[in-house]
Amino acid sequence: EATIKDQEAIREISEELEESHAQEEKQWRSDLYKKETEMLNREGELANAQLKISDQDKTILQFRDLVSKLQREVAKLREAHMEESSKLAELDSREKNLLSMNQQLQSQIVKGTFAEISQQIHIIKVNEAQLQMEFMRAFIPDKIFQADNEAIRVVMSSKRIAAKCDIMRHHLQKVYKNDDIIANHGKLF
């Protein structure tokens, strides 16, 4: 009779453990789904930022075309009114203003692009760090976590480097418009 009671007690403990395990698994799946959703949202934000940069690049190209047209007009006016020194001085003044505006705009563009790239790199780092910690703490015991942490950091670091290279490749492709060389290499990873 004592053996039967012991077996019943063991069976009850086993059922409680299975129920507890099922609840924990359900919670982990829920947490993983939330994190995947959050990651998809971050990717959407990154895509929106890239679209915004693309629109800004189009605006810059239009401004450059306008500046180049204005510079050609200045050159024509200079040739037509070469005899009149007062008009020549006025044209020189216009050209200097246009060049100054162009330099100021280019400086602002560089600053804006740098800020966008920095923000994207920061988002990538934050997402990687969050994912790394979630996966580590949720599924790996502390002893194994400490032993395998270095290998995981190497993988995360290589993903971060690849993402940064893709960002720079995309930026260089826009700035230098060298589609033939850069496009042949495609994405890095």
Q: Which of 18-22, 136-140, 179-183 has the highest mean pLDDT?
A: 18-22
Tell me the mean pLDDT in the region 16-22. Answer: 88
pLDDT at 187: 47
pLDDT digit string, tens, across residues 59-113: 988 988 988 898 898 888 777 766 677 666 777 888 888 888 888 888 888 887 8
Tell me the mean pLDDT in the region 161-165. Answer: 87
How sure is the predictor about 33, in pLDDT bands with cuts at 50, 70 and 90?
Answer: very high
Q: Do 188 and 169 form a contact (C-beta atoms < 8 A)?
A: yes
pLDDT at 69: 92
Of the listed ranges 117-121, 133-137, 172-176, the one predicted with least confidence: 133-137
| DSSP per-residue codes, 111-172 | HHHHHHHHHHHHHHHHHHHHHHHHHHHHHS-HHHHHHHHHHHHHHHHHHHHHHHHHHHHHHH
Comparing 42 with 153, the larger pLDDT belongs to: 42
Q: What is the mean pLDDT of the chain?
A: 80
Tell me the mean pLDDT in the region 26-48. Answer: 90
| DSSP per-residue codes, 57-108 | HHHHHHHHHHHHHHHHHHHHHHHHTTT-HHHHHHHHHHHHHHHHHHHHHHHH
pLDDT at 34: 92
